[in-house]
Amino acid sequence: MKIIKIASIILTLAIVAPGCKKYLDLQPQSEITDPTFWQTTNDFRLAANWFYQNTLDDPHYDGTNNNDNMSDIAFGTEINTISSGTYVAPEQDGNWDGSYSAIRNANKLIQEGTGSSIKNDIKPFLGEGYFYRAYNYFRLFRMFGGVPIINNVLKPTDTAVYSARVSRDIVLDSILNDLNNAIANLPVKSSAEKGRICKEAAQAFKARICLFEGTWRKFHASGSSDALLDMAITESKNVITSMAYSLYKGKGDASYRYLFIDQTSQDNPESIIAKKYRTNINVNGWAYGVSWGNLNPAKAAADMYLCNDGLPIDNSPLFKGYDSCRSEFRNRDPRMTQSLIIPATKVIRPQYDTYRPQWPGVDNNRNVNSGYMLYKFISEMPTPGDGGGAFDWNILRYAEVLLTYAEAQYERNGSISDADLDLSINVLRDRVNMPHLTNALVAGNGLDMRNEIRRERSVELAFEGFRWDDLRRWATAETVLPKSVLSIKVTGTEWAKQVITLDGASYNSYFYNAPASQLENGYKLLQPGSQRTFDVKKNYLLPIPTKQVALNPDKLKQNPGW
C-alpha cells in the first residue's frame, strides 16, 4: 500500500504546475496530506524528482530553446514581438505561473526537510530544494526584475498571498542565500547521484547569476557591481579548479558540433545541468523544429565568427567575402561550419534517412526566411522515433563557466591577464584549433578586449538562448535590437543567379530575382529596422501578467511603460 500512497502524492506534485492564478500560482496547503510521506530518504528523493521534469525545461517566450529569436542573431518562421519591441503585456504568462508553482513545491520540500528527524540523511534533496527555489526566482528576476518573495508554504487565507513586489536587491539576496544553502548541503559531483544537481553545479549557477546582475548594475548604473563580480570570479574559479567538468573532445575536431546531438550529448563531461531526453520516454523534438526553420541564423551571427588567423572579418586578409555562396565560410573559426550548414553540403535531416544537399527552400527545407541554415543541434539520427531524439539539452555547460570567469575578470579589473585568458577562453579555442586570444593580439590589431570576450561568448553559446539576456545586461539592446535583421548577400553574388552549380550538381536559387522590398544594401532583409523599436524606459524588463496585477493592484505594480 505504501507504493500507492507515494504514487498519489507524486501525482499531486506533478499537477501543481498549472497553479492557482488567484494566489500568485501558489497552491493551498492541501497537496501533501498523506501522513506517511516525508518519513524516509526515498520520500524526499521522489519529491525532488519533480523539479527535474517540470522545471529544467526553462520555458521562455518564443518556445523552448528558441530564445535567440528574441535577439539579433536568429529569426524564426515569424516575426518575434520581443525582438521587435512590439510585445504586448499578456493576461497570463507560463513563466510567472510555472515559476511560482515550482517555488511553492520547493518551499514544501525545504520546510519538511529542515524540520525532519532524518535531516542529515536527506541533505542532498534539501540542497536541491534550495537550488530549485533559487533557479525559479532567477527566472522571474531576469525577466521581470523585483517580484514578490514567498518562501513559506501558504494557506489561501494568509495575507502573504498578496505580497508586494520587493526590490531587485532583496530578490537577489534571497537567491544567493538559497544558493549558499544549496552549496552547503549538496554533495560534490564525484559522490553525487548521477544526473542530479551537485555542489559544483550550484556554484556554476551562482556564477551565472552574479555575472548577470554584476554587469547589469555596472552598465545600467544601478549600484555597485564589484562584490557580485568578485563572487562570479570566485565561484567560476571554484568550478574550474574542482576539475569536476571538462570540455567534450570525444569527436576530435568536430567535438563542438557533436556535444549537442545524439548519444554524444548524453552524460558528456561538459554538461553541468541538462534536461534529459530519451526516445519513447521523454522525447526531444528539437531537431525537427530546427530543421523546419524555427531558429534561422542571421547575418549578425555569421559575421561574428573570426577568421582562422584569430582576427575579425573586417581585419583579416583571409576573409573571402560573399561573392560565392560558400566563400564567407572559408578560413573561418570551425565553430561557424559546425553551427551553420555550408550550402549544398550533404547532411541527414530528421525528416529523411539519406544524405541530401542542403539549400534554403529546396527539398522541403523550410529554412527560407534566411539563407543561413542551422547545423548546430541537427541530429544525425534519421527520422528519430516519436518525433524527437534521445539527446540532451544543456541548461548549463562547462564552456559557460570558462566564459563567465573571463568576462567577470575583465569587468571587475578593466583588464585580463594572458594567464587568465589561457585558463578560460583559450581552452575553448584549443578545442577548435583557433589562435589564442592575447593582449598582444588585441593591441597589435586595434581590437577591444571587452568586445573580443563578448564575441567569444556569443560564438561559443550561439543559438543556445543567451543573447537576449546578454544584450540587456550589457545595456546594448537599445542599440542592437532596432537595427534591420539581415541575412545572406544576394545582390552581385552567386545567390542572385537563377541556377547555382556546386559539386557537379545544379540547384535553383531561392533568392533569384528577389524584389527590392526583400533586400537592404544587397542583403536579404528578414525584418527592416523601421518595424523594430526599443524603448529604453520599458523594454529592458518584461511586463507582469495583467491578471496578476489586477488581482493585487495595490502591491503588484506593473513594470514601467507597460
- Give the cell for residue 4: 500507492
- Give the cell for residue 256: 563542438
Residue-wise pLDDT tens digits, 144-169: 999 999 999 988 888 888 899 999 99
154: Cα within 13 Å, side-chain hemisphere: 22
- Give the cell for residue 269: 563531461
The per-residue pLDDT for 287 is 65
Q: How many CB atoms lie within 10 A of CB 91?
A: 12
What is the distance between the alpha carbons of residues 97 and 93, in angstroms, rounded to a whole number?
Answer: 6
The 3 state secondary structure assigned to 432-497 is CCCCCCCHHHHHHCCCCHHHHHHHHHHHHCCCCCCHHHHHHHCCCHHHHCCCCEEEEECCCCHHHC
The per-residue pLDDT for 159 is 87
420: closest CA among 406, 439, 399? Answer: 406
The per-residue pLDDT for 281 is 59
What is the distance between the alpha carbons of residues 510 and 331, in angstroms, rounded to a whole number?
Answer: 26
The per-residue pLDDT for 27 is 38
The per-residue pLDDT for 66 is 86
Bridge partners (DSSP) listed for residue 486: 525
What is the distance between the alpha carbons of residues 83 and 239, in angstroms, rounded to a whole number?
Answer: 33
What is the distance between the alpha carbons of residues 279 and 286, in angstroms, rounded to a whole number?
Answer: 13
User: In this structure, are residues 170 and 146 in contact, taking their beta carbons and an 8 Å threshold?
Assistant: yes
- Give the cell for residue 456: 567569444
The per-residue pLDDT for 118 is 96
The per-residue pLDDT for 386 is 46
Residue-wise pLDDT tens digits, 219-263: 999 999 999 999 999 999 999 999 999 999 999 999 999 999 888
What is the distance between the alpha carbons of residues 177 and 161, in angstroms, rounded to a whole number?
Answer: 22
Q: Which three-class secondary structure state does DSSP give residue 13?
A: helix
What is the distance between the alpha carbons of residues 77 and 9, in angstroms, rounded to a whole number?
Answer: 41
Residue-wise pLDDT tens digits, 445-456: 999 999 999 999
Residue-wise pLDDT tens digits, 96-130: 999 999 999 999 999 999 999 999 999 999 999 99
What is the distance between the alpha carbons of residues 534 and 554, in angstroms, rounded to a whole number?
Answer: 28
End-to-end CA distance of the chain: 53
Q: How far is CA 402 from the centre of its chain?
A: 16
Give the chain's domains with CATH numbers. 2-60+84-223 (1.25.40.390)
- For the packed helices 449-460 and 398-413, what is the interaxial angle rounded to 10 degrees? 160
Give the angle subtended at the CA of 393 by the CAs of 351 and 353, to the nearest 5°. Answer: 15
- Say which residue the cell 571554484 belongs to: 238
Task: Give the list of residues 6+ apart from residue 476 with CB closer than 8 angstroms, or none.
Answer: none
DSSP class of residue 370? S
The per-residue pLDDT for 335 is 98
What is the distance between the alpha carbons of residues 206 and 123, in angstroms, rounded to a whole number?
Answer: 19
Q: Which three-class secondary structure state does DSSP give residue 341?
A: coil
User: In this structure, are residues 348 and 355 in contact, taking their beta carbons and an 8 Å threshold?
Assistant: yes
Task: Give the list of residues 6+ apart from residue 308 with CB closer than 8 angstroms, or none.
Answer: 318, 331, 332, 333, 334, 434, 435
The CA distances from residue 38 to 111, 239, 552, 557, in Å, are 11, 32, 34, 38
The CA distances from residue 21 to 59, 227, 433, 550, in Å, are 18, 37, 52, 11
The per-residue pLDDT for 286 is 65
Q: Sign of dihedral through CA atoms 239, 240, 244, 247?
A: positive
Task: Give the list of residues 6+ apart from residue 558 with CB closer than 8 angstroms, or none.
Answer: 89, 543, 544, 546, 549
The per-residue pLDDT for 207 is 98
What is the distance between the alpha carbons of residues 477 and 216, in angstroms, rounded to a whole number?
Answer: 12
Give the angle subtended at the CA of 333 by the CAs of 327 and 335, to the nearest 5°. Answer: 105
Long-range contacts (CB closer than 8 Å, 24 or more residues apart) made by 236-239: 236/203, 236/204, 236/207, 236/401, 236/402, 236/404, 236/405, 236/408, 237/405, 238/200, 238/203, 239/200, 239/203, 239/204, 239/207, 239/272, 239/398, 239/401
Query: What predicted TM-score, i.e. pTM, was given to this entire model?
Result: 0.92
- List per-block mean pLDDT (blocks of 10 residues) for the chain, which spans 562 residues: 29 32 39 73 95 73 70 92 97 93 96 95 98 97 97 88 94 98 98 95 98 98 97 98 98 95 88 80 65 88 98 98 96 98 87 80 66 88 57 91 98 98 98 98 98 98 96 98 97 95 90 95 96 98 97 94 96
User: In this structure, are residues 113 and 41 in contact, taking their beta carbons and an 8 Å threshold?
Assistant: no
